[in-house]
Structure 1
Amino acid sequence: MRESHHIKYHNHGGSSGVDTYKIEEESIEIAFKGGGTYLYAYQATGRQNVERMKFLARSGRGLNAFINTHVKNKYAKRLR
Structure 2
Amino acid sequence: MKRYGAARDSGVAAYDVGPGWIVIRFHHGGSYRYDESHPGAEHVLEMQRLADAGEGLNTYINRFVREDYAARLS
Q: Provide runs of 4+ in structure 1 moved above 2 Å.
A: none
**TM-score (normalizing by structure 2):** 0.95
Aligned residues: 74
Identical aligned residues as a percent: 38
Residue from 19, 25, 42 that aligns with 1:25: 19
**TM-score (normalizing by structure 1):** 0.89
| Structure 1, gaps ≥5 residues long | 1-5
Secondary structure at 1:53 match in 2: helix
| Structure 2, gaps ≥5 residues long | none
**Cα-to-partner distance string for 1:12-55 (whole Å, 9 max, x where unaligned):** 8x521000000010100000011100000111111100000000
Residue from 35, 40, 48 that aligns with 2:42: 48
Q: Distance in 2 between matches of 1:69 and 1:15?
A: 17
Q: Distance in 1 between matches of 2:42 and 2:14?
A: 21
Is residue 2:35 matched to residue 1:8?
Answer: no
